[in-house]
Amino acid sequence: MAYNKPKYDAACYYGGKLLGRCTVADGQAYSAMMESCGNSAIRVMNEYAYFSQELKSILEKAAAIQAKQVGQSPGLFAQPEKSPWGDVDSCDILCPGVFMVSTPGHGGTMVSKEVAAFLSPAALKCGMRANGFICYEEDCQESVVLRELLDKKMWCIPERIKDTAAFEENINESLRKYNPDYWRWREQGQGKEHALVAPTLKKAAGLER
């Protein structure tokens, strides 16, 4: 069977630099996904599953440029050393750019500004900004981030937690108690609509199989 080579009638750029030639469909997908992910190529590769070889190469080049701009290796974000609650003793990575930190006295979850675009407007209102992060205190606000990550399938409840249903209900109960405005926003369906933005764009771009 003869192999029809794709017609490269488009190109992708980042910061004025040509990343590679591609099909029109790949070019449109690149633009849509980058817009959906706050212009972060690393987030695109983490949140989407299907790429042509050409589009994957383009995204890897964009990710390398972005990583170099912040002095990191591709796929990594600088872990926080300080938090609103004190110097960071330990740091767990929930997903790229999202860190659950502990300090001698307290802790919380810190979202790097490079990936904060995944947070809904309602979630952003619950956090506080400090040193390039959106910060959520562990007792009252952290559940907002966990709920958003679960809804967008960017994080899974760890295997060490046996009763995942109870864990998720604890998150919801915390939201109802400490963040009732956020919970009402989510229950009204706006949270679900926000969570479906990425899959909808993926399907529209022809990447969902």
Confidence of residue 65 (pLDDT cuts 50, 70, 90): confident
Query: What pLDDT, on the 0 to 100 scale, is given for residue 36?
Result: 81
How many domains does the structure of the chain reveal?
2
More confident residue, 173 or 195: 173
Query: What pLDDT, on the 0 to 100 scale, is given for residue 190?
Result: 61
Domain boundary among the residues 47, 74, 101 is at 74
Express each pLDDT in 130-184 by its tens digit. 988 999 999 999 999 999 999 988 888 888 889 999 999 999 999 999 999 999 9
Domain holding 129, by residue range, is 82-197
Same domain, 132 and 58: no
Query: What pLDDT, on the 0 to 100 scale, is given for residue 127?
Result: 96
**124 domain-assigned:** yes
Give the list of residues 6+ apart from residue 59 with CB closer than 8 angstroms, or none: 30, 41, 44, 45, 51
Same domain, 16 and 113: no
Report yes or no on whether pTM surpasses 0.75: no
Domain boundary among the residues 74, 90, 120 is at 74
Same domain, 167 and 111: yes
Same domain, 49 and 102: no
